[in-house]
Structure 1
Amino acid sequence: MRPLIPVGPSYGWVVAGTLTVLLAISHGLIGSGISVFDAAILHDLHISRATLKLRDVVQLFGGGLWAMAIGFAADRLGPRTVIYAGLLTLGVALFGYGYVTDVRQIYALHVLLAFAYSSCHVVVVLLVLTRWFAQRRSTALGIILAGESLGGSILPPVIAYLIGNSGWRESMHMLALLPVGLALLLVLLLRGKPQDFGQMPVGGASGSDIEQAAEVAADPSLRIRDYLRSGQVWLILAIGAALFYTGGGVAAHSFLYFSDRGFNPEWAASSLSLIFVGGLVGKSCSGFLSERWPGLGVWMAFQATMLVGVTCLTIATPLTVWPGVALFGLGWGGSYTLTQANVMERFRGPYLGRLAGLIVLVEGLSAGIGSFMGGLLHDITGSYTQAYLVMTASVLLAIVLTQLLRMATLQPVPVR
C-alpha cells in the first residue's frame, strides 16, 4: 500500500510518532483503562478485590512470558505482523469482556490481554527503531514510551464518562473498536525498512553498520550463563522488581483508593490521569537529564520522588493525596524509563533480547504481585494503609539497591 506520507530522510520520526499513538491507545486501555471498570465489576460479579486483582498477576506474568516468545516471532515474521496480531487480540478481548459472568472468564481474557500488551511492548518497539534510527534512538524511545503515559492520562476520564452514560458492558464493546481503527492507521503509516524506499535510517548509518560495530566491541567467548552470574544483572532485576511492585500496585488501586475516600468516579479516574500526566513528564525528561548528568544519580532522584509520592498517599490526608499522586507519577515515569535505559546501557548484542525479556518477566510479575497484595491487604485490614506502607518500603529498598549498584566497581558487561 502506498504510504500516506512520502518516505523521506526524516520518516523515522513519523514512525516514532505512530508508535507513540500505538502505545498510548493499547497500553492506555490495558494498563490503566481496565481499572476504571473495577467498581462496576466488583458490584456486578460480587467478588472481593483480591480475587479481581489476581487478574493482574495473570496478565503481567503472562506478559513477561509472551515478551520472551514475541522477540523470536518478531525476528522471523517482522515486528509489524506481531503488532497487528496484538491489536486484533486486544479488540477480541475487550469485546469478550463485556459478556463476562465469572471471574475465571476474566482471568482467561487477561491471558489474551497479556499477549496484546507484549506485542506492543519495548522489545518490538526496539526492533522497529533499530531499522529507522542510527542515531537519536534514546530520544525517539523516550517519546514513544511517553505515549504510555499520554494514553493513561487521557483514557480514564473518557472511560468513566462512557460507563456513566452507557454502562460498563456496553462501554467495553465501544472500546473494542479502538484497536481496529489503530490497525488501519498503522497500515498507512508504519513502514517496513527505510532501504525499501531508497532511504537510510535517521543519522545516516545502516543497520548492518551498527550491528557490526556492536560485534567488534563484544567478547565472543561470553554466553548467556556468564551474564546470569553477573552481580549487575541480579541487582538490576531486584531494583526493577522493587520499583514495579509499587508502580503496579499504586496504578492498579488508585481508582479504588480515591473511591474509598468518597470521590465520585470522574474524580477517582482523574487520579489515574494525574499519575500518567506525571509519568509523561518523567519519561520525557529523564533521558535528557541522564545524558546531561551520567551515572545513577538521576535514576535515584526519580526513585526518591516516587518515594515521597507514595509516602504522601500512605499518610492519606486531604493535603497530601493529590500532591502524592502527582509526585508518584513523576517519579514512577522517570524510574520506569531509566530502568530500561540501564539495561540497554550495560547489555548489548544478540543476548540483549533474552536478558530484556527476563527483566520484563520479573518486572511484570512484581507489578502483578503488587496489585494482588494491595487488594489482599485491603481485604484483610479494611483499608489501604498497610498496603501502601509495604509499597513505600519497596521503593526504599530499590533506592538502597541502586546505591549498592552505584558503589560497585563492576564494569559494563560486553555482549557478543
Structure 2
Amino acid sequence: MTVPLLLVLLLLSSVPPLSAWDPDLELLDLVEEIQINFYTFLSVEQDASPVEIKKAYRRLSLILHPDKNKDENAETQFRQLVAIYEVLKDEERRRSYDDILLNGLPDWRQPVFYYRRVRKMSNAELGFLLFLILTVGHYAVIWSIYLEKQLDELLSKKKKEKKKKLRPAEEPRCIGPDRSDRVSERPHWQDILPLKLSIWLYLSIKHLPETVQEVRQFYGEYQQLKQQQREEAAAEQEVAPRERRPKVKKPKQEFPVYLQEEPTPPRYEEAAASIEDIEEQMDDWLQEQRAERRKASGWAQHELSLLGRLMVKFPGGSPGRWEKIAQELGRSVAEVTAKVKQVKDNVSQTSGLVKLSDLKAPPLPVRSLPAAEEEEFPAVRRRNRKSAEGGGRV
C-alpha cells in the first residue's frame, strides 16, 4: 500500500505546471504581492478605456522611472507599474482581474491554493513535505492492516459461535488451535517510516561484512560447481569411446541344399550350332594365319595385280579408299600405302610411264592361283552351309 502511494506522489511532484495556467498563476501572485487595487494604483476608474489606462501608465512611468525616482524602491515600483499595465491592456487578463476583485483570491478549499504554495517551495522544503506525507501514509496503512485483521477475526469468531448454537447435541470434534486466539500486534510509534528506515539502514551496515562473506562463499561454491560439471563432461567424453560395443550374434550360415536334377535329353540343335561356331572360328583362325604368312613372305604377284585393279576400282578422292583396298587385300592400311609408294618410286626411277600398266593387267584364271582358292574356299563353304540350314527350316 505504501509503494503505490509513494509512486503517485513522486509522479505528481515531477509533473511540470501546465503552460495554460501560467498567466493566471502570475496574475494571482501579482495581486497577492501588490495588495492594492490596480485601478487605484493608476488613478483611473474601473471602467476606464484602454486609452485612459495608457495615458495613466505614461504619466506614472515618467514619475516612477528609476532614472528620475531617487527612492530606494524605485525599481520595484516601476516593475509593478509595468506588470499592472500588462494586465489591464489585455482584455482577457483584465476580465480575470475583475473576477478576482469580485470573488477574491482562492482559499484553502480550492486546489490552486495548495498548488501555489507548493510551487513557491524550494527543493528541500518540497522533499521534507513529501517525506512527511509518506510517513503519515505509511502509519495509516499499518493501522488499516491491523484493523482489517481484527475485523476478520471478529467475524470468524461470531460465525463459529453461531455454528455451536445450531449444533449443541453433536459430539465435540478434534479442532485445531483457534485462530481467534492469535491477536495481531498493535502498531506502535516505533513502526513509523523514519524509524523503520533508520533501523533497516543500521542493521544493513552492521551485517555488511557477513553479507559480503556469504556472497563470496556463494560465488566460490558456484565456481566449484561449474568446474565439477566441466570435469564430469570431459570424463564422459573420454569414457564414451572406450565403452565396449554390444556383441552382435552372427547369423548362422545356411548351406544350400543341392537337389538331384533329372537328366535332360541333349538338344542336338544347340550341339549343331556350337559345331558350326567352332568351324567358323577355325576358318577365321586359318585366314589370320594365311594373312600373317603373306605378311612374312612379302607381296606375291597376284596381290600386286589385285592391288592395281583395286586402285582402278577405287580412284583417288573416293571416301575410305585405302581402308577398302586394305580390306580387299587382307592387309593393313600402312602396308598398302607403303607398297603403293614403293611402286611409284620404282616407276619414277625407270624411264617412261609404261610400267604402270603392269598393275592393270587382266586377272589371272582362278585355277592358277592356289592361294586365292584357299582364301575363298571357307567363305563358300559357310554360304553353302547357311543355305542348307535355311532350306531345312522351311
Larger radius of gyration: 2
TM-score (structure 1 length as normaliser): 0.15
* Richer in helix (by share): 1
Structure with the larger RCO, 1 or 2 (CA within 8 Å, 6+ apart):
1
Q: What is the TM-score with the length of structure 2 in the denominator?
A: 0.16
